[in-house]
């Protein structure tokens, strides 16, 4: 009699038969069913108690995840209609399989912190970073006078390197440095004025955002370092260790090296520096303080750091390099001369004494 239809659905005329090992196919010419219609049809079939998918060898028709969850729930509860309806609703809300996001349930977004609550924290972090940078890396200084023209103009802002001194670096000839007033070179220190604005200036200067009203700093060029002998006579150039310095690249045009204040020869003590301004006729530098403590020199411990860059205004951005005239200055020999002479005299004496010992030893061996 041919093939026998298995698991025909009750009350659904016109639907194709499903045979063992086959999958149901929609009849030709029939409009395709939507997912909602298919879901409704399966629910009705489950309520009637006839499920072609449960037949031996039949393949289950794939359906929405929520519907499959609903059918399983109906069988487990023993009530296909009620269980299917309840589980289908749960499937839509929970998303069916475990871990799938639900379509009906809204996730609560984490509350965002207000900008005004974060602003004090940002300001505190910025102040701490500014203090660390000012203390250990670089610090900005304003030029208040004309003593370093034309290298630096009044109102320029320079960045001073404060990192390398922490690693034992010392100033070298030709460098532009900032240093603390070594001995009242600038006269009496002005009072900050007290009050609200004085307190604010003290606080801002502490973190490096304003110049301090109490600390008096100067900026000059290093001419000679410890052990050097420096001299300048009227009408002549500055000489360092006997070498005349060509200062035409940085001395203010029209100025003489030292005609307004000749000096020397002066031997610079170890650990101290001789400094002068590039605008010689407008600079109260080492030449004018030879009668004071240090004989006009400054201590390396008073040095804040080396000025490396002109940072403001933008049209004057430049790197403060060391002039070529200072690159081939002969080394100072005054401090090393006694040691060198002592070593030169000791070598012959040691050799003569050694020969005497060898001869005495040879004579003793011959007499045995």
> Which entry of 147, 162, 283, 286 is annotated as an active-site residue?
147
Question: Could you count the other beta carbons within 10 Å of the beta carbon of residue 39?
Answer: 18
CA distance 151 to 172: 18
Question: Where does 60-139 have alpha helices with state H?
Answer: 65-77, 80-94, 115-136
Contacts of 339 (CB under 8 A, 6+ apart): none
Catalytic residue among 162, 220, 283, 286: 220
In order of 51, 136, 145, 249, 256, the CA distances from 281 in angstroms are 111, 35, 13, 16, 8
**DSSP letter assigned to residue 20:** T
Residue partners of 252: CB distance under 8 A and separation at least 6: 149, 150, 278, 279, 280, 281, 282
Q: Which residues contact 334 (CB under 8 A, 6 or more apart)?
A: 227, 229, 267
Residues in CB range of 16: below 8 A, 6 or more apart: 24, 25, 26, 27
CB 161 within 8 A of CB 306: yes
Q: Encode 257-270 in three state secondary structure.
A: CCCCCCEEEEECCC
134 flagged as catalytic: no
Count CA within 13 A, CB hemisphere, residue 97.
4
Question: Is-contact 24 61, C-beta < 8 A?
Answer: yes
Q: Which residues have C-beta within 8 Å of that of residue 41, sequence separation ≥ 6?
A: 12, 33
Catalytic machinery residues: 147, 220
């Amino acid at each position: 009699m041919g093939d026998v239809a298995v698991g025909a659905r009750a009350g659904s005329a016109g639907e194709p038969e499903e045979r063992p090992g086959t999958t149901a196919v929609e009849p030709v010419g029939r409009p395709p069913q939507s997912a909602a219609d298919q879901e409704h049809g399966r629910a009705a079939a489950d309520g009637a108690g006839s499920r072609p998918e449960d037949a031996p060898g039949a393949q289950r028709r794939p359906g929405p995840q929520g519907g499959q969850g609903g059918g399983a729930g109906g069988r487990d509860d023993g009530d296909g209609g009620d269980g299917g309806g309840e589980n289908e609703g749960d499937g839509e809300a929970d998303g069916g399989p475990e871990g799938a996001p639900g379509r009906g349930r809204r996730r609560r977004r984490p509350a965002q912190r207000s900008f005004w609550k974060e602003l004090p924290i940002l300001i505190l972090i910025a102040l701490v970073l500014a203090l660390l940078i000012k203390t250990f890396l670089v610090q900005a200084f304003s030029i208040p006078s004309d003593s370093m023209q034309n290298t630096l103009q009044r109102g320029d802002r320079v960045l001073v390197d404060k990192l390398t001194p922490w690693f034992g670096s010392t100033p070298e000839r030709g460098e532009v440095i900032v240093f603390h007033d070594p001995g009242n070179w600038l006269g009496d220190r002005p009072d900050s004025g007290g009050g609200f604005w004085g307190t604010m200036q003290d606080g801002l200067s502490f973190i490096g955002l304003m110049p301090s009203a109490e600390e008096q700093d100067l900026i000059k060029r290093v001419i000679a370092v410890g052990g050097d002998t420096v001299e300048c006579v009227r009408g002549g150039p500055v000489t360092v260790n006997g070498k005349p310095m060509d200062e035409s690249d940085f001395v203010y045009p029209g100025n003489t090296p030292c005609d307004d204040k000749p000096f020397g020869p002066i031997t610079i003590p170890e650990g101290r520096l001789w400094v002068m301004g590039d605008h010689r006729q407008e600079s109260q530098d080492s030449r004018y303080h030879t009668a004071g403590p240090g004989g006009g020199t400054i201590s390396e411990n008073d040095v804040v750091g080396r000025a490396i860059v002109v940072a403001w205004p933008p049209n004057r951005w430049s790197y403060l390099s060391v002039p070529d005239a200072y690159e081939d200055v002969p080394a100072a020999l005054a401090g090393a001369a006694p040691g060198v002479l002592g070593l030169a005299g000791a070598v012959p004496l040691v050799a003569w004494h050694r020969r005497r010992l060898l001869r005495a030893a040879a004579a003793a061996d011959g007499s045995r």
